[in-house]
Amino acid sequence: MFGVSNSMLKNKKNAEYLSMREKINGNDLDDQIIGMKFFRDFISNEPEITIHPSLYSRIHSLFKESENIILKTEASFIFANCFDGSAHEESIKLLKNENIIRSLVCTIFRYPNEYDLIHGCVWSLNNYAVKSAENRDVVIHSHVVPSLMQLLSDLDLPTELLSNILWLIHNLSRGHPKPNRDFIVPLIPTLAALYQHEDLEIVEHALWIAFYVTEDSNSKLINQWFLSDKKMPVVSGITVSEEVITINHSIALINLLDRLSQSEVVGLKPAVMLAGNLLHIDEQENSHHTFYRNIVAPLLNVLQRTQDFVCPEVSNQSLWALEQIIAKSPYQIQKILALDDSVTLLEKLMNHNDASVRHESTYCLLSMICNGTIEQSNKILKHTNIRIRFGQYFSNLNPEHKANYTVISMFLVAFKRLQVCCDTKDVFCDDLIKHLVPYISDSPTSTIPKEFQRDCKQIFEYYRKMQPAISSIKPRLIKVRI
């Protein structure tokens, strides 16, 4: 039996294409639906056959004008495949000129309970938005938020559809250049409500959206809503026992961190990254805010949870968030010290197998010494093994890593900070100071960065004045490749 040649197959497919195009261009509803179903698969499976832009225009026309849900659903998935790269730019440009995005958004708003149709529309918007910042902004400016709010008010929304909606919001919230993120404000209470969702993938989606919206945020409106002490209505129209559901984002995030730190790993990374973003918002009126007062214990719980398994990025983000708290005031440092084993935990992390975790935990402790009261500093420095950990950390310093410069500078401040306290002058042992000696060089050919040398030398000279016993140590010349 003879095989079928490629040319024969192509001719057959062309014939099918022409037949189905006629059905779509005709006036019979059943034929139009058959043609739509054919083209839904045809677009993605037959990229070598060019579909004329006029056919997309016809499909868009039927999508707008028909009230048949099956036809509209098939058309929405055709647009999703089209925007996914299956169609030529000419066709996409034509659909854009016909305001296809607005048609999709209006359809979502008009048919909120037709889940298959909504799924196709959301998928289409998502595929269109991710292509470029320009496309993303077109979707944002198409008044998509009211439609999304209406969808998110549906307590029976299927998890898969909810996930796709959140992916759309996620993609609208990021990119370069960054979008005007004020569009997300009406959705903030809803995001907070989703932190309680039983599906952790949904929770993770909501957290990533909140993270991107608050990243480097200069929007006072966004910052105010995320950190407000007031409870906000989740979505207009959602009621339980005839009362509007309200939620406080700060409390919701704190409760979520408590939940995740006890049992789950999924969602921990965006949760602690979001906490760091919110703590980084340098608003004086927020220094004693609910969030600042209650976030310390959950962050330490996360660190406790992640210290025993390979999750350095979560540990780093948690430590960075703690650094934002420490920088605020001695009051916040006291909150940390008041918790059982908080210094012990940070001291253990100084011996972590990941270098970045060792760096961040060391910086945290040094920052507490520098920013706290004398009594707080003494409590840290008298802790078991703290001297050994500092010595181990500094013995492994590598001048090639610029991240070490900040720790060296903080170390210098810690020394000067403690000079007024007589019983702490001998806390940092001689061996610790000796670790800095190899990085001090007056040679003009030295390859060690000058700022690193300067800070090391200042610490060394300062300590030598305090401890005459090591005054005989001579800085030796050393070359370090950078």
Q: Which domains does the chain have, with CATH numbers?
A: 8-150 (1.25.10.10)
Determine the pLDDT at residue 435.
Answer: 67
DSSP 163-183: HHHHHHHHHHT--SSPP-GGG
Determine the pLDDT at residue 479.
Answer: 32
Q: How far is CA 265 from CA 194, 203, 260, 322, in A?
A: 17, 12, 7, 19
Determine the pLDDT at residue 220.
Answer: 62
For residue 244, list its beta bridge partners: 239
Determine the pLDDT at residue 377.
Answer: 81
Phi and psi at 240, nearest 5°, equal -130, 125
Q: How far is CA 345 from CA 1, 231, 318, 326, 352, in A?
A: 75, 34, 13, 16, 11
With CA atoms as reference, report the closest residue to 226 among 197, 254, 265, 202: 254
Determine the pLDDT at residue 111.
Answer: 93
Determine the pLDDT at residue 441.
Answer: 61
Q: The pTM is what?
A: 0.79
Q: How far apart are CA 323 and CA 296, in angstroms?
A: 11
Most distant CA pair in the chain: distance in Å? 100
Q: How far apart are CA 253 and CA 268, in angstroms?
A: 11
Mean pLDDT per 10-residue run, the chain (482 residues)? 50 79 90 89 70 84 94 93 74 78 93 94 93 90 87 85 93 86 80 87 90 73 65 45 55 86 78 86 54 83 74 86 81 83 87 83 85 81 74 69 66 62 48 65 66 73 61 38 28
Determine the 3-state secondary structure of 244 from DSSP.
Answer: strand
Determine the pLDDT at residue 341.
Answer: 84
The end-to-end CA distance of the chain, in Å, is 70
Determine the pLDDT at residue 102.
Answer: 92
Determine the pLDDT at residue 118.
Answer: 95
